[in-house]
Structure 1
Amino acid sequence: MNRLGKMMTAGAAVLLFLLAVIPAYPVHAADTRRVVRVAFPEAAGLNETYEDGTRGGTVYEWLMEIAKYTGWKYEFVEGEAIDLMEELKAGTCDMMGGMFLREDLKELYNYPKYSTGSNYSLLIYRKDDEDIKGFDYSSMNGKKIGVFAKATDKIERLNKFLDFNGIQAQLVSYERGEEYERCLENPDIDIMLGSDVYMTDAYNVAAKFESEPSYIVTTKKETELCAELSQAIESIYSADPEFSKKLYDKYYPGQYINSIYFTDKERTFIENNGPVRVAVVKDRYPICYEQDGEKKGSAVTSMEIIGEKTGLTFEYVYADTYQKAMDLVKEGKADVINGFMDSDDTAVEMGMVRTAAYASINSVILRNKNSYESGEGRVMALPQGHKLKTWGKNDSIRYYGTYVDCLKAVNSGEADYTQMPTAFMEGMYAEDYYANVVLASDNDMPQELSVAMAVPVNVPLYSILSKAVNNLSEEERSVIIGQNTLGIRESAATLKSLVYSNPVLAISVCAGMILLISGIAILIISYRSREKIMKVRLEKAEETSKAKSDFLSRMSHEIRTPMNAIIGLTSLTKMQEEIPPAVSKNLEQIDSSAKFLLSLLNDVLDMSKIDSNKMKMECAPFDLNHIFAQINNMFTAMIESKEMKFTITCDLNGTMFKGDEMRLQQVLTNLLSNACKFTPDGGRIELIVREESRDKRKAVLYFAVKDTGIGIRQEDCERIFHAFEQAKEHQSNTAGTGLGLAISSSLVQLMGGELKVDSQPGEGSVFYFTLQMPVFEGNLPAEEEKCEGKRYSLKGLHVLLAEDNDINAEIAVELLELEGILVERAANGRRAVDIFEQSAQGSFDIILMDINMPDMNGLEATAEIRAMPRWDASTVPIIAMTANTFQEDRDEAAAAGMSGFLSKPFDVEHLYKILAHSAGRKF
């Protein structure tokens, strides 16, 4: 017996031995999971049973997710909703979803602690009713709206919606559900208050607004089942707070396709106008091409659908290139161009107007393999007529006739790269081979397809086309692309003719095709490998960024909390009478040092926002005179103490602009603060602002801060704009982290400029930048009167203070009581909710709510207070008073229902002013 045979015999013997000595175990253990009988009435979007027996809907998917936490198995009981509710009441069913909260139903069923999300109410009308226009609220005036009498919450929300939008309508109540569901069959009823469940092909949507939450309820006797249900829903929300919203978006439409309403002028145009001439680029797959002698492409399909919706007819005018197609429209040889691939801004530059996009196609960037991706000054190839942004800042564009010409230019090295739709590239690679072209990236910016026409616009035609495009359903948009990208394209020459006409050439072509396929395969493999590497790097970068943000957020909170106590105790001590001068001086130094530490912390947070691209610039109207006044007030004391001369030189035709006033003031303040630091006593500082050019819409402004200080060496002039850097001669003489100029430089860049410096040691420095700013010609909102001394009284206010830190709470209470405010403190969010719930309605004027608290945080407490069924729950001002100062913290506070935000440590006067403003006490 050879060696292999011996090994097989030994292996078999070992296997027989193991089978003999190892005891047998059952393959499947008994299924001990609880079986829950679920009432499952058929309802679109909620409970759906499909032809193949599978189920869906928001309730069904909630149940499947809940089962992951509870281990339940479900037995679905189908039938009519009314009958199933009786079974649930009798206890023959355990659970039912899609239930609204009603006081009479709470006596019949158990409601869990959490809802499964809110739906939306729709105002529905008949399609044949031309008096009502979809989402034109004014057309609903004087109409009768059918409502279900028992849906009191929905009716209340409807009344608020009507009042808010100034709609005068009559509500007609129906006591019986059967009559209510058929109310639109009554010609006296114009509109029905319903939801997506009631939508049919015969109805349009007049309006949509948020409705009441729905629940999965249990039979009354199943209290433990309801408790387990509550815990499971809570776990689901903890894992994914957007779970209910995602389900709603999945099963209900994001937009409603109403019937199109044409004006008399538009109807006349449709009836009397001949075929609309449509310019298209021929042989441009998948936009326009020919197959089996028939015109195909997204341009053709889209026009067919638009024709069905409008009654328009079309004829096609063909062009060889995109530019020639647009020239046909501009010369009046065609009415519109279909397959327009540029943006609204580009269309305006070209003297064109485009409709909304009816479809989009993905695009790719292709580059010459010898061109460096990170280089500057490269050449981008584009077909004439297209306007796209270059890949690099200093790149230039060279125009060619067609995309094929662009690809050839990249292949030859005449251009470095080009951008084109993926479908175009696939067609070109099928016809030729480009050895020097590689895929640089999927730029993940789909190019939109739309219909465009020349200026001056044919208004009736444009209006008809726009209405039709905006009326396209998602299914129709999918057909426009899918029908024209999944078909088989005809090749220019058949393989049979090629072989018979020239066998040598055929062999060469086959060899070339093999090389081409191999090259594409290698290209794809290389691209996928690079994509995987980039994804890993991106994930690591995101994890690092998130960890950094979390760390800074925690450190900000931890530092600001004791700083709040320091600044607060200092303020309280300074308010005491007969303080010895030495103690008063020490208090001033403590207050100054604490505020300096706070400014350093703010600088670090600003740098973090800039580094993570989270710094956003506002664009709001402001007056430069306001900035000048603030700066003058801020630096007067410092200037006088050093006996320096400070001037503001302003040469402007107007001072009203749009931009980020706070960030512009921050930049100028940083520059002036540095000038004060590094200018000796008796020196001069000048702020220069002049207007270099202006038109009706924008102006170019020059800003400069000039001083006679110690100056900066040339080798340091670039380094000082880096974070944590200072000029060497400055490092030992002045305090600071070196962040001010780095932040200022980044802010100027975000505003569209560049911060520069001219300086000579011993002669002073000039820091300057230029900004292009939109001109504002309106009037700013009137500011509150400003004068010396208080113009408000807080005496008698009743404030609920939710603060878990005892020291901070004591400081806040004492500061509030100094103004005659009655304060009631809650040590955590749960206690704050209980105190408010047990108080008489309207007894509290304001709630000061900390965010980070034990038992229940401030966001959760605010949400519970806002949800209480009492009139003051939605009106009482709730001010966030927290050491969390990131923008996402402000957004979360606003989303939870808070009406103000006060960051710790806070200025005492600022606290009083916020209270006065929130309580309606005049300044």
Structure 2
Amino acid sequence: MLLHRLTRLIMFIAMICLTALAHAAGQPVHLAERVSAVVAPIVLPASGAAWLKTHTSLNVGVWLPAQPPFMMDYAPQKEFEGLSADYLALLGKMLDVSVKVYVYNDRRSAITALEQGEVELLSGPALHGEHDSNLIYSIPFIQDSAVLIHQKGVQPSSPETLRGKQLLYVGDDEVALALSNAWPDAVLSRQTSYYRAIAIVKDNPDALLWGSRRTLESINHQIYRSALVTTPASVGASLSQGYLTRPENQPLIDTINAALEKIPTETLNKLDQVWRQFTNGEPQTGILNLSESEKAWLRDNPVIPVYLDNNNSPLSMVDSEGHAHGIVINLLNTIANQSGVKFRYERMNNLVDMRQKLIKENDGVIATADASARHEPDIRYTTPYFISRWVLVTRDNAPTITSLADMGGKNIVVYPGVYYLAELKAAYPQVHFTESTMSFSGFFKILTGKTDGAIVPVLVADVLNDTLVDRFFKVALVMDLPPVRMAMAVNTANSQLLSILNKAIEQVPPRNMVREYVQWQKHHPLSSLSLWDRYKYYLYAALLLITVIVAFILLRNAMLKKNVAALESLQAELEAARKAAEQASLSKGTFLAQMSHEIRTPMNALIGLLELENFGHSTPEQRRNNLAVAYESSKSLLMLVGDILDMAKIESGSYTVRHVPVSLSETLNSVTTLFRYSAEEKHLQLSSTLEVTHPDILFDPIMLKQILSNLLSNAIKFTEQGEIEVGLYQSGEVNENRAVYVIEVSDSGSGLSETQQREIFEPFVQVEDSRARHQGTGLGLSICRHLADLLGGRLSIDSEPGEGSTFIFRFSAEVNHNTAAVASSRAGIPRTAHTLKRILIVDDHAPNRLLLSQQIAFAGHHSVAVESGAQALLAWADTQTPFDVVITDCNMPEMSGFELTKKLRHIEQNAGRVPIPIFGLTAMAEQDVAIRARASGMTDCLFKPIEIANLLARIDGDVDAPSPIQSESPTIMTLDKLARSNPRAFDDLVLTIIEQNQKDIEQLALHIAAVNFPAIAITAHNILGGARLIDASDLEEVSKKIESAAKESNLNSVSEAYQQCVGVILQLEHQLQAALNASN
């Protein structure tokens, strides 16, 4: 415990020592006495007299910041000026002692200097805090109290009313502690300047400032013209000015108290009135008390030239008749009355010219000069006759600013040759400063936006608002600059004139200067400033501008009258566009409703039939029919989703065009054959015509088939009776190995109007109410239009109501002379028999694993199914017999199918094994997915849903051994799948094939007998298309022989192949009839 106390004591002593060493030394300043009072020395008490005998001078300390009117701003001349200065000068006279003043940066430094003996006395308010608790005080020489200054409407009646508000103060930590105790819910903000703090209050209704009543009311009146109000504060109820000293200087305090009590009442009133700028009074006049040398100088210089700024109101200005006006002129007239001197006024442009002339001719006087400026060696300044703050004036509607940095990029005007310009340019390089005289025309530039603000004294800003254009300007910022100390300037050699002017100015206190300022504002309205002479050219220019504007308005009105028709047309187009947008929105709603119906219909069949099969009560015949209907419903649903996704792909730009060998004849034949049954179901006659010279081209076969299929499907769907014709023609000759082709699909339907033709290719728009009963997405023709654009072609329609419609697709393509490539492209995946394989299935979705396992088991293969990539790697490593094929889902958690494939390929490479087929399986039917699959090492990518035939074909594509599962002919297997999926379609198809084959073989015999080789080739080509439709490979091969021999005009070869064709067709007819009997 003792050690702890000792440590704290040592730390306390160290802090005191460091504080004593760290405080800033006082700056000696000149004691400027503004109000001179004649008083006689008093009889001192014995103790006081003894104390003064041991001190040759009285060292007094004061502290910053400046606190008007007690201590005016600390000027560069280092003068201590103000009400406290006048009292201190008066005290020095009464005590008959020399007074020296030192200024410290803050109150704490001043108290430290007092405690260390640097000064014997402090002048200022006593706060009775921790720092000055051991000091003694004199009686107050000025009574003062604490107040809160704020905007009107604020009522700080209790601590609760300041909750959340900003409470500003200028002071040290003791002041902050006292304010925090009194208003605990307020937000304290320490400030370093009363001017800056009161500016914040002026702009912020939630801000209040605590301080001296006399100080705050003085600034409020000077700058803001009493726009703010004050409320007495409980903290620091007494802020009266007095003197503080150490306890051992008690005799000095007793002597000071005795002197203060003996100051005459008239002297006290004089001091108070001089510095209380709110009271009115008559100016003091009288004969100056001049010395003999000063009188002699006046006799030798009866007329003194005075240099005036041409327009520096309200201080000085010269009207068009040469008469001088202004506050300084009134002051000079007073001096002339008191001294008998005469002044001759000379008009000059700016202060720089005045200084140069004063140095050259040393008998003159500059009437308005800032004594705060840096001194030229040849110029001296009088005692300031007016002190005012620098403020920034802007337009009233300009944004609020808190610093000059907020004016970055803007133009600000300053007086020519001002001392602070270099300092401002260095501190705010982003602001553009321009030197110019502050005439009324200069302020009009602020109104017109040619400049953004001006730095002027407060009194100039007040005149600007009161005399010129009230409510157009505002004081935007109080500048953090030494105040303008308006004085007169003389040549250094003219010391007698300087002394005369100082004596005259000292007899005119600041109170009277304020009175002069107020009177000048009242008695010099705008009319007396001869504005017509000054601004008549501006008025002429304004009149000319108004004339031009009126002429422009009249011309504009004439032009507008001519454009009324155009405006009405634009409005009509806008209304049409609005209706079109509403129709599109309605069509989208209809589309969504239709999609809901189209999706739910096959889904209802799927769910319902599978639910019945789940119960297990159906007969084998019912089960076969139920599964067939469910299969057709699923395919219908898949086609529906495909249409929607195709539209999305087209709109997103992800559709890519492939140019591969394509046979136009085979494409036309295969598509018409597929839709022939649908046409015959509706008793429609479907015919096709092919008239091309170059049927083999390089084109995108999928897009071409989709366009042709959609057009043909649309024609069958909306034609109730009559016929449908499909024609494919070649237009013109081949140019640069490119030919132009035209596909026409004509129907005998109801036809379309012109409006319907414009809307038919738009998505989500139904052009005919009667078509709503037809199933479909409504996107088919829109997809055709977009695909035609992608292929570089053009899709159009030719239709008349009641006359049917013809859809025309015109495109160009490169002619393919390599027919072998076409044959190769038709081959597809080779139909080779397969051996039994071990297949690894990887899928995290259990139903998918089950489906794949059953599909593979159906083909006789053996499968191992796992649910993750990690299990697949284990199965791959554990098995004794290697897998022949891997089928993996592409998107799985933890390890995707792409990652699994890379690892399997890496294992194969390290083991030196031949890579086996690896197929990816995904529901994301995108080209990017397929590219990524091949990049990861997959053989290919399969898209869900995948039919069993396609799946087995892909598995069989990489094997060579025969397979027992394909012992039956491909034709029977194909028809068997059709029988299981759609028995009715199977029956119709078989009967149609048998009938068509009989017709074809008869036509072929007739053409051979007539030796008509072109007809033989066409009939053989028709037989070839039908053979490919049912995978009849033998019939396909023999029909190719007939077509090739006919093109070569080889009758013997045609006859030989014909005999083979008859035998193949008879064999095929027996197979088809047997399959038909089995299905029934």
Q: Which TM-score applies when normalising by structure 2?
A: 0.32
Higher relative helix content: 2
Q: Which TM-score applies when normalising by structure 1?
A: 0.37
The structure whose Rg is larger is: 2
